[in-house]
Amino acid sequence: MADQEAAPSAQTWTHRWTFVLAAAGSAIGLGNLWKFPYITGINGGGAFVLVYLVCIALVGIPIMMAETALGRHGRHSPINSMRELARESGASRWWGMVGWMGAFTGFLILSFYSVVAGWAIAYTLEMFAGVFQGMTPAEVGGNFESLLGDPVKLTIWHTVFMVMTGVVIARGIHKGLESSVRIMMPALFVLLLAVLGYSVVESGHFMEGVNFMFAFNPEDLSWDAVLAAMGHAFFTLSLGMCTIMAYGAYMPKKASISRTVGSVVVLDTFIALVAGLAIFPLVFANNMEPGGGPGLLFVTLTSAFANLPGGQIFGGIFFLLVVLAALSSSISLVEPTVAWVIERFPVSRAAATSVYCALVWLFGLGTVLSFNEWSGESAQIFGMTFFEFIDYLTANITLPLGGLLIAVFAGWTMKRSYIYKELNLSLGAFNLWRAMCRVIAPICVVVIFYFSTIEEPLMELLGMAGQ
């Protein structure tokens, strides 16, 4: 019991690999299995994938190392760690705002994440029950539409997923987080490889899928797509909102940050690419369009499973995989804030988790309604539904901004000797990392941000004005 109530500063993961598993669990989620394939599809494939990989290398890796190092040095919840680290380096206490912004972003992401994960729970059960067998794509599409059109059903699945998340978090670092990722992550690898094998054998269109993902067509690329690729690099690695910082706080002093971060990034990227390679050949096998948007998994892929031999079982396995991946990520969205609440107030982990999850659940009803009652134009925010707006705001704005501030803090503000000791790299490697945090990552974020959100819309506006 003491384990559950102790302040984060008193705890560490029981094994050095647990950090890798937990951080990979956070990174690998709906972002890899649902969002990456569909935004790759919308943005035309290969060119988008290449920019995404460049963003992972230039921005993702250095910032993930920075977040982990800040977390381990601070040893508290991100909000308190950031304030403490700033004080220790003689910087403004306003840096604590980075932790607050992370908590705010996590709240927003979880609110829609849980709704989408709820779809996956519904689909797991329906797949195994054989509901989709023999359905035409139009019927599968109709089924998805009717799920989205029913706020009560959506709310039920959203509630089930929030409760699952809350139960894991309330059980604490060891009994909840560690034990669950230890089972979920290996299961996830096995299930995904099974689905990939199935796609290679059954689709007959494997090379078409490979071509779609890796053929580079520069004309497919717009600044919007580049922003989406960068935003996704942050989203998929869980960066920019202090989640990795919260997990870093439980990391033993002896573990090597560069090696562990390297493993997490490789695992996350590998899973996203394998998911794409498993999904696109099945899409092409059914003569369907890869640019189907958020419905790619729930309509296009589901139609493929509905009409291929063994689709009932493999489809069920696939959606179970999506639920597990989503759960190991959602718990990481809750942990930083719950860690702060139990540090700050004399409340139990279970109480903090319940109140937090209830608030997120309530806000998530906005996403539920985005697909039905609030789908009309009158309920739109900047031309987007509530769900699209929250997704855009978090992935494309607050995560990159949070990441930028973390890079600047680690590269410029924090005392060099502290971060040097924490990272424990050779001098050359340290200088390279520092240059990435000080210059390269901030420039990438600012340039992409400028062109996609200021320059491109401005040119469009001027173009329209000139007509």
Residue 453 bridge partners (DSSP):
none
Q: Does 329 bind ligand PFF (CB under 6 A)?
A: yes
Among 333, 334, 414, 437, binds ligand PFF (CB under 6 A): 333
Question: Which of 240, 442 has the CB closer to ligand PFF?
Answer: 240
Q: How far apart are CA 239 and CA 187, in angstroms?
A: 24
What's the min distance (Å) between Cβ of 315 and ligand PFF? Answer: 20
Placement of tokens 């990159």 in the chain? 400
Kindly write out the interface string for residues 203-222 of this chain, putting x where it contacts ligand PFF by CB under 6 A and - elsewhere: --------------------
Residues 9-28 that bind ligand PFF (CB under 6 A): 26-27
Q: How far apart are CA 29 and CA 35, in angstroms?
A: 9
**CA-based angle 227:230:236, to the nearest 5?**
130
Q: How far apart are CA 263 and CA 429, in angstroms?
A: 17
> By rule CB under 6 A, what count of residues binds ligand PFF?
16
What's the min distance (Å) between Cβ of 325 and ligand PFF? Answer: 7
What's the min distance (Å) between Cβ of 400 and ligand PFF? Answer: 12
Q: Does 29 bind ligand PFF (CB under 6 A)?
A: yes
Residues 86-115 that bind ligand PFF (CB under 6 A): 106, 109
Q: Does 370 bind ligand PFF (CB under 6 A)?
A: no
What's the min distance (Å) between Cβ of 461 and ligand PFF? Answer: 32
Question: Which of 102, 316 has the CB closer to ligand PFF?
Answer: 102
How far from the centroid of its chain's Cα atoms is residue 433's Cα?
23
Question: Cα-atom radius of gyration of the chain, to the nearest Å?
Answer: 22
Q: Does 390 bind ligand PFF (CB under 6 A)?
A: no
Q: How far apart are CA 36 and CA 99, in angstroms?
A: 27
For residue 158, the tally of other CB atoms under 10 A from its CB is 27
Rounded to 5 degrees, φ, ψ at 381 are -115, 120
Q: Does 332 bind ligand PFF (CB under 6 A)?
A: yes
Question: Which of 147, 275 has the CB closer to ligand PFF?
Answer: 275
Please report, as a single letter, which amino acid is at residue 128. F
Question: Which of 322, 408 has the CB closer to ligand PFF?
Answer: 322
What's the min distance (Å) between Cβ of 172 and ligand PFF? Answer: 19
Q: Does 180 bind ligand PFF (CB under 6 A)?
A: no
Among 32, 77, 114, 353, binds ligand PFF (CB under 6 A): 32
Of residues 352, 443, 24, 14, the one with CA closest to residue 192: 24
How far from the centroid of its chain's Cα atoms is residue 70's Cα?
20
Question: Which of 236, 312 has the CB closer to ligand PFF?
Answer: 236
Only segment of 30-38, 75-83, 117-125, 341-349 that touches ligand PFF (CB under 6 A): 30-38
What's the min distance (Å) between Cβ of 33 and ligand PFF? Answer: 8
Kindly write out the interface string for residues 229-258 of this chain, putting x where it contacts ligand PFF by CB under 6 A and - elsewhere: ------xx-x--x-x---------------
Q: How far apart are CA 411 and CA 445, in angstroms?
A: 15
Only segment of 66-74, 288-296, 325-333, 406-414 that touches ligand PFF (CB under 6 A): 325-333
Placement of tokens 């409340």 in the chain? 347
Give the footprint of ligand PFF on this chain (CB under 6 A).
26-27, 29-32, 106, 109, 235-236, 238, 241, 243, 329, 332-333
